[in-house]
């Protein structure tokens, strides 16, 4: 039977990081092409306020369903994200099947857009005769790594840890920059390899980047290669407004109001994404480094975490008692010059504020793209996952960032923090970074304009997904 309006089902992974770019893509498909989208969301914990707020603020053509929560009690709580996400998706498959069947009773489900750790849903898509696609919310460099993992896994040179890794068309990176899964070669790596072997079963990759950011990598990825699904470049997909960020309204309003009163380009934003947490010692060094830099700042502070750097990725940080962890007198001493905001800010909106002149970032790709569209130069301070690769790209490839040096004790020390902050905000080097960032901002606007490279690719996919007819039973 084949009936009804076309709908694209999107399956993000749990947490905010991969949901946000999928939502941006959905909004474009819906606003510009009137395409209906349904999010079917695997969960391993009750949905966060940030998730529900953003999803509830979407246009009527975009609906969502949280799939029943899967239990992960057999998995250590500090397991790597690759494991947590992959297992969550795997265990959600029966729920996903049920949700897709219900949806196909009234609609033509023409495509299933999966998270890049969601390849186990390919078989379900095939069974239900729905075209599977994968959204890569990170760099083309990460896409290149993902596609090359099965080949590299068999290559003895790849496992020689003393040698840099050369991915086709990419800057050489150190092994440690690939993320812990590659260093430890453990279960998390097995999942990465598992997904790597399955990517070829997709009908296409949706990549959140555009040519000017990674020209050599993208040119190679776009070359026809037998058996490799096409890559659609749709970036930069970033939040157009911050309707979904009312997590902490009072603090947010204060933050924007405070920025209104600061000179143009004078404030550096410090924020480590939705999940990034620092140790207590690192928080202290950061506070004292910001103080030492004598620059204006907004710092989004999360509770310290001594064990993992992604301490609040799947759970909400309440920001309770945060100020106990800051050095004594820090808030008073930096009053008027610095603002400490607990837990969450509307980051995209803050980055677009004219008072912002720099951004200390963990190099999550969404954060990098939000800086690009707003022309804000960076201090690159990667914490986990592919952020080290992104840090190489923004500093050595795009040349829009200075990278913070981490000492042998594992800490970025106060003097180093003051150095990089000052460099971006007032040095000659900072001017060069700003100039380059402004060029990329222009290029981003061009890609997204009607007829621009990304808009054209999005239209191509929208037309395909609207027109596709499939037989379901
Ligand atoms: N974000 C935000 N406010 C915060 C922290 C993060 O709005 O206080 C948003 C940020 O704008 C970005 C996303 O959360 O869109 C974080 O994604 P990214 O890829 O940068 O990092 P991740 O959270 O996946 O590590």
CA of 273 to the centre of ligand 1 (A): 4
Ligand 1 atom with the smallest distance to the CA of 344 is: 8
Which helix (H) or strand (E) element contains residue 168? none
**Interface confidence (ipTM) of the complex:** 0.99
Residue 18 annotated to the active site = yes
Q: Which ranges of 360-448 would DSSP assign to H, the alpha helix?
A: 365-374, 387-392, 414-426, 428-448
C-beta separation of 240 from 267 below 8 A = no
Average pLDDT score over residue span 258-267: 97
Q: Is the CB of 300 under 6 A from ligand 1?
A: yes
**Is the confidence at residue 466, as pLDDT, over 70?**
yes
Output the residue whose Cα is nearest ligand 1's atom 21: 364
Which two three-digit tokens encode residue 426? 């007032």
How far apart CA 173 and CA 139 sit, in angstroms, is: 14
- Catalytic choice (64, 115, 177, 353): 115
DSSP of 41-93: EEESSPPPHHHHHHHHTS-TTEEEEEEEEPP-TTS-TT--HHHHHHHHHHHHH
- pLDDT, residue 318, reads 52
Q: How confident is the model at residue 138 (pLDDT cuts 50, 70, 90)?
A: very high
Per-residue pLDDT reduced to its tens digit, 190-230: 999 999 999 999 999 999 999 999 999 999 999 988 889 99
CA distances from residue 337 to 258, 297, 355, 357 in whole angstroms, order as listed: 10, 7, 12, 14
CA-closest residue to ligand 1 atom 23: 274
271 pocket-lining for ligand 1 (C-beta < 6 Å): yes
d(CA 158, CA 284): 38
Tens of pLDDT, residue by residue over 284-297, are 999 999 999 999 99
Over the stretch 425-450, which tens digit does the pLDDT of each residue have?
998 999 999 999 999 999 999 999 99
Identify the helix (H) or strand (E) that includes residue 321: none
DSSP string of 246-295, one letter each residue: GGGHHHHHHHHHHHHTSPTT-EEEEE-TTT----HHHHHHHHHHHHHHT-
SS3 323: helix
Active site residue 166: no
Q: Kindly report the average pLDDT of the chain as a whole number.
A: 90
- How do beta strands 378-380 and 6-11 pair? unpaired
Indicate the helix (H) or strand (E) that contains 6: strand 6-11
């Amino acid at each position: 039977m084949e009936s009804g309006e076309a709908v694209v089902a999107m399956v993000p992974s749990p947490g905010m990081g991969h949901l946000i770019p999928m939502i941006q893509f959905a909004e474009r498909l819906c606003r510009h092409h009137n395409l209906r989208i349904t999010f079917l969301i695997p969960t391993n914990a009750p949905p966060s306020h940030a998730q529900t707020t953003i999803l509830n603020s979407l246009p009527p053509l975009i609906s969502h369903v949280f799939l029943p929560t899967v239990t992960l009690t057999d998995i250590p709580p500090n397991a790597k994200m690759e494991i947590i996400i992959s297992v969550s998706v795997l265990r959600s498959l029966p729920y996903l099947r049920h949700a897709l069947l219900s949806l196909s009773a009234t609609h033509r489900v023409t495509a299933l857009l999966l998270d890049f750790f969601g390849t186990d849903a390919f078989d379900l898509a095939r069974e239900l005769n729905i075209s599977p696609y994968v959204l890569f919310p990170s760099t083309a460099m990460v896409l290149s790594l993902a596609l090359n993992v099965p080949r590299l896994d068999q290559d003895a040179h790849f496992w020689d840890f003393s040698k840099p890794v050369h991915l086709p068309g990419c800057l050489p990176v150190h092994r440690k920059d690939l993320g812990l899964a590659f260093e430890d070669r453990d279960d998390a790596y097995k999942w990465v390899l598992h997904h790597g072997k399955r990517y070829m079963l997709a009908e296409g990759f949706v990549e959140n980047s555009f040519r000017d950011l990674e020209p050599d990598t993208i040119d190679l990825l776009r070359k026809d290669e037998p058996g490799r699904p096409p890559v659609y470049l749709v970036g930069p997909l970033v939040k157009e407004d911050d309707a979904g960020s009312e997590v902490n309204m009072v603090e947010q309003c204060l933050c924007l109001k405070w920025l209104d009163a600061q000179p143009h380009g004078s404030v550096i934003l410090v924020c480590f994404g939705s999940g990034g947490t620092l140790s207590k010692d690192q928080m202290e060094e950061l506070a004292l480094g910001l103080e030492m830099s004598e620059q204006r700042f907004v710092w989004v502070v999360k509770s310290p975490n001594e064990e993992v750097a992604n301490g609040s990725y799947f759970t909400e940080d309440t920001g309770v008692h945060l100020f106990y962890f800051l050095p004594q007198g820090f808030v008073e001493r930096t009053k008027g010059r610095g603002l400490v905001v607990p837990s969450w800010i509307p980051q995209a909106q803050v980055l677009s504020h004219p008072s912002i002149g720099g951004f200390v970032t963990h190099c999550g790709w969404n954060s990098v793209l939000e800086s690009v569209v707003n022309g804000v130069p960076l201090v690159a301070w990667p914490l986990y996952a592919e952020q080290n690769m992104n840090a190489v790209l923004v500093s050595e490839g795009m040349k829009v960032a200075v990278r913070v040096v981490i000492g042998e004790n594992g800490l970025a020390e106060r003097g180093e923090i003051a150095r990089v902050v000052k460099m971006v905000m007032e040095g000659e080097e900072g001017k060069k970074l700003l100039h380059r960032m402004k060029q990329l901002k222009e290029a981003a606007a061009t890609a997204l304009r009607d007829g621009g490279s990304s808009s054209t690719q999005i239209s191509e996919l929208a037309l395909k997904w609207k027109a596709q007819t499939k037989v379901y039973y």
